[in-house]
Structure 1
């Protein structure tokens, strides 16, 4: 992998992990579209991928550092009783939303990646992801008629569980983790900004945990799993792009509380259809 290819993959990871457009789908489709001969099963690719995920998780931790400091303070009893209760409650919601992805991830990730981890299958699911985003926006108005509230303070454990179950759809390349969780939040009555906020909070342990779980396998790989300078610089690129992405998205969702996901739906349709056409013609 050249430096240019590595930085492009890093930028794609940093952006597509947070934008509701499926990082896994892009990782499968774009190398094929660009004609890159990348050995994603090679011994050097896993350490590279782990560093990219660590960079993305670090960007989320940095952007939402006040949230995480507040949650940690609440758990150890620092602050007013009301603040501690609210922090512990939000921590519980994050845990509830994370559990389904952990369970289904361990059980189904390898079979699903084996079945669907090809460009000609990821591209149609990217189109499906576009429909999820499009109709999630359209159902937003109906969900607002519910009494569940529209911000994280009024979110219940059932809401968190449903968002967590939606997150499991991202095990399929082409289905966006952030998109699925945002739509799940919208359907439970959250505003776009609150849905995105919760989506990014639960993304942090998922992304970081997935990277950490790969470290033993990486260290015991055929070449000892050495992390190269290229991987470290690519991780920095992924982190910078991820930070800018979440900064942009939080402002986008704050300004657009209706049809905020529609532009991403159009993008998914365009890339999915383009990929299907190019790959089909190239066969």
Structure 2
């Protein structure tokens, strides 16, 4: 890869990992428009490490409190709101793990076409727009029940369909359940941590088994740029989500979906 490819892919991955616009659609579209070769598995791992570092750093205070409270709940010292939130993150991660392990090969071989991506962008984009317009509530993430977490987790499993967007579908489900925009976004970002760890872990195992050469400088730059763009994205998204809502992202998804149909239809 040349340096322009490294920089552009890193920034795009960092931004789209957390915005409700589907990172997979962008990472497929960019090489098509530029003629660049596939970036390779090692670079994907580096980008995941950057995104993971960003979300952990951003929520470091909340995570420390949640982990401490979760540990106390294990030792029967009581369960408070932070412990419950930690349990809900774990519960909501189970469905996507089970579905991903069961259908990983089918998803990668059958559903990676640009037209499937376009369909996911358009259909789930419209759903996000309707829910954001009609179903917003006032609850925050600490007011969730285990049933809420399970429903959001089941929705997250749909993100295995390319074009759906993991953050987009989890925010859609959270809004449908009566969470406010900020709470829906925060819980979606917290959910990304175990998902990125698991996805990055699987990619790392595949990388270890392969004989692919590693360009450590390119990987390091990619991880740093992905982390910086992801951190910036989280900060501004949470700062402005209450005011701007989801509609700009819905419009963008529709335009991108139509562009994919136009290019590949």
TM-score range, shorter chain: over 0.9
Alignment of 1:1-283 (within 5 A): 1-32=1-32, 34-39=33-38, 45-77=40-72, 85-141=80-136, 144=137, 150-223=139-212, 226-256=214-244, 260-280=245-265
Does structure 2 conserve the Cα–Cα contact (< 8 Å) formed by 1:28 and 1:117?
Answer: no
Instruction: Report the TM-score, using the length of structure 1 for normalisation.
Output: 0.87
Instruction: Tell me, in whole angstroms, the C-alpha distance in 2 between the residues paired with 1:48 and 1:197.
Output: 27
1:84 deviates by 5.6
Per-residue CA deviations over 1:73-115 (Å, capped at 9, x if unaligned) read 213449xx99962222111111111000111111112211211
Is the CA contact 1:21–1:129 (under 8 Å) kept in the aligned structure 2?
Answer: no
Q: CA deviation at 1:230?
A: 0.6
Does the CA-based 8 Å contact 2:117-2:163 persist in structure 1? Answer: yes
Quote how far apart the aligned CAs of 1:200 are: 0.3
Which blocks of at least 5 consecutive residues in structure 1 are unaligned?
Answer: none
1:143-199, Cα deviation, whole Å (9 max, x unpaired): x4xxxx611221000100011111111111111100100010001100000010100
Distance in 2 between residues matched to 1:20 and 1:130, nearest whole Å? 8
Q: CA deviation at 1:227?
A: 4.9
Aligned CA RMSD, in angstroms, stands at 2.0
Distance in 1, matches of 2:115 and 2:216, equals 32
The 1:237–1:184 alpha-carbon spacing in structure 2 relative to 1, beyond 3 Å, is same
- Alpha-carbon deviations, 1:54-87, whole Å to 9, x = none? 1001000000001111012213449xx9996222
SS in 2 for 1:169: helix
Instruction: Using structure 2 for the length normalisation, give the TM-score.
Output: 0.93
